[in-house]
Amino acid sequence: MVSSHYLASAAGNEILSKGGNAVDAAVATAFALAVTLPSAGNVGGGGFLVYHGKDGEVTTFNFREKATLAATERMYLDENGEVRDNSNHIGLLAVGVPGTVAGMWKAHQRLGRLPWADVVEPAVRLAADGFPSTWAMQNWLKSLPNRRGSLYDATREAFLKDGARLYDPGEVFRQPDLAGTLRRIRDEGHDGFYRGETARLIADFMAANGGLITEEDLALYEADELEPIHGTYRGHDVYAMAPPSSGGIALVEMLNILEGYDLTNIGHNSAQYLHLLTEAMRRAYADRAFYIGDPKFNPNMPIERLISKSYAEKLRSSIDMDLASKSDSAAFNRVFTEESEETTHYSVVDADGNAVSVTYTLEFGYGSSIVVPGTGFLLNNELGDFNAIPGRTNSRGTIGTAPNLVAPQKQPLSSMTPTIVAKDGRPLLVIGSPGGRTIINTVLQVVLNVINHGMTQSAFGRAIESPRIHHQWLPDITSFESWGFSPDTKRLFEQMGHEVSSRSGQGSAMGIFIDPETGMVWGAADSRAFDGGARGG
């Protein structure tokens, strides 16, 4: 059990020790993270779950947030066609109908073993009894006293002592309103969130403050069980999310391209290795931007072509081994919008060999920073992932193309990439990461570290900790983590024609490797996550 907060990992492990399976533990961890990791753990957001059973069954659950029934294509624009006051990211219009509770409920009803109340109970205890506030929360807590307006009154009450003073790191932080919300979810399941008191509190707050979510919007929300995106790479099966996540398609497309090269002999993180990764990233991210959106609104996406070996061969033929190609900055209809890097991922494997990979988010760190009075949880600002200005696309990153425009009940495009790699029908690697648009490339590099470079068993931590790069087609820049790459490697890479930038960190991968011969399970929590931890027993 590996997650971005050690207490959430402990909650999941507690459920495993009581005879729960991987889905039970995943549900417990999701709700525990809503308490201990308010920057991304949530009941007010959404995400994706990938499941691979010991019997070979593979399925996925989509619980991405949705636009409301009242949403419109131009809902964020003023009379001049400009985004009004950053309203697609800040305030109640940016809030999508949350999906996390519905997703956990649907996955548990299909595949869970223990009673629902048992798997939610650890989160109730954490919220009611409290846990030590951490250094990771300090910057956001310091911003709360300066947030103006009644929208943030309940946030201050929930996260500050007496609504005014910061909790010091290590000081016990209790959340009684969140405990009440979790008790309703524990006792009433799906309807404990989407109907009844919690739904009424959300809808009344929205109506009083200019938001759009109604009790009808909440009552209509259901998670979807979907077929996974399936690819193969060097004798391994790769299972990941289908749209509205772009992660599975892009990951399989890049692996298909890279399968044609001897990456092992080229050498891990050598200049030529990084060149080939960049060229694969460039092509997959261009396709991501041009083709992918909510499938219910984009029924003709060429998914089978994008993940085919023949298409990868065509793309590979356009790559020069020694010279960077250029992203076509004139083809602005392939630019895509920004995504926040504040997401969280966790991975679970149970004693029977069932595996679960979950990535979920509030969008920005701490989402909208808005708490509905009486509920204790933060709302997302996920609708910022839609294209806000129809028809306007330019080199600065504004996009107005059709696949990801706002529409009622539509889900915005995502980069979340929970992934399970299997060998001979059994899970081998359970992996995922936060990081916005970098997520797909972080997962790609961990998969390559395991399969091509043998970072397995006791070396699995290296697969998670190794330095990473990111390229997203536009802007035409490859970012390097600021540590771990030699100056010579960067110089040779730049001599191939690549432009380089530096970043402090990329993602925080949470992974599990299962030795196919011994069955031994190795978990690694990325040190890039301040409070991350692996638990098992």
Question: Cα 49–55–58 angle (5° rounding)?
Answer: 30
pLDDT tens by residue, 172-223? 999 999 999 999 999 999 999 999 999 999 999 999 999 999 999 999 999 9
Show which residues are catalytic. 343
Q: How far apart are CA 63 and CA 76, in angstroms?
A: 24
- pLDDT for 334 equals 40
Question: Considering Cα of 261, then 265, then 268, then 271, what sign does the dihedral take?
Answer: negative
Contact yes or no for 536/14 (Cβ under 8 A): no
Percent of the chain scoring above 90 in pLDDT = 89
Instruction: List residues bridging with 480 in a β-sheet.
Output: 469, 502
Can you give the pTM of this predicted structure?
0.96
Q: How far apart are CA 153 and CA 144, in angstroms?
A: 9
For residue range 247-260, what is the model confidence (pLDDT) as tens digits?
A: 999 999 999 999 99
pLDDT in tens, 280-336: 999 999 999 889 999 999 999 999 999 999 999 999 999 999 999 998 755 433 444
Instruction: Domains for the chain: give ranges and CATH numbers.
Output: 2-224+339-404 (no CATH), 226-330+415-534 (3.60.20.40)
Contact 501, 478 (CB under 8 A): yes
Which strand (E) or helix (H) includes residue 272? helix 271-291
Which pLDDT value is given to residue 475?
Answer: 87
User: Residue 32 is encoded by which pair of tokens?
Assistant: 């525990």
Strand positions, DSSP E, 286-367: 343-349, 355-361
